[in-house]
Amino acid sequence: MVSLNDLERMQQTRMLIQAGLRLSIVRDLTGESVKLVRTWWKEIHNTKPQNGKLKESVLGYIKNKKMAADLSAFAVYYQKAYGIGPPTAKTLISAHADFTKIFGPVDINAAYYVIRDLEHHFIVIRRCHDCYASFIYDTGSTATESCPFCNKNLRKTWDASKRALKASQSHFSTPRGSDATFAGR
């Protein structure tokens, strides 16, 4: 006889597979066997499951400003609705379904990595100084170095602030009597 917990886990497994979550992640979240998960994938999608290396973080999914905006919106939504904690099958399913109904489709694999990366602080959420939207910030990509909603480049603002701070600090740290010249003297 199957327990209610087993039925719930099987239902979650089916929903994750239907949404297209990579099988290794489905196995990690549900604990189901490789054979069962592969069989269900073939029955649901009528194809073999996708092979290949998994992305290392959500940043691997962000290729353009639209994807940055979508995943930033999902990150903020998830934080507000569920807090920060380890991704579970139940929270991933409900967060993905709710977000998709309200805001439109988002890749469930990317959504999983958003949740995981938030928990482990692999990504930084910044607030734009112009439009006040929160977004995933990373200087390693043109899609994430500025606000994807208003396109304000925080990196340039940040670099200009650092240069101004350095200039003001050098004014005070240069010893008297040196050959340095200062503006305004």
pLDDT of residue 179: 46
pTM of the model: 0.78
pLDDT of residue 136: 95
Element (H, E) at 13: helix 4-19
pLDDT by position in tens, the chain (length 185): 778 988 999 999 999 999 999 999 999 999 999 999 999 999 999 999 888 899 999 999 999 999 999 999 999 999 999 998 899 999 999 999 999 999 999 999 999 999 999 999 999 999 999 899 999 999 888 889 899 999 766 555 555 555 656 665 655 554 554 444 444 43
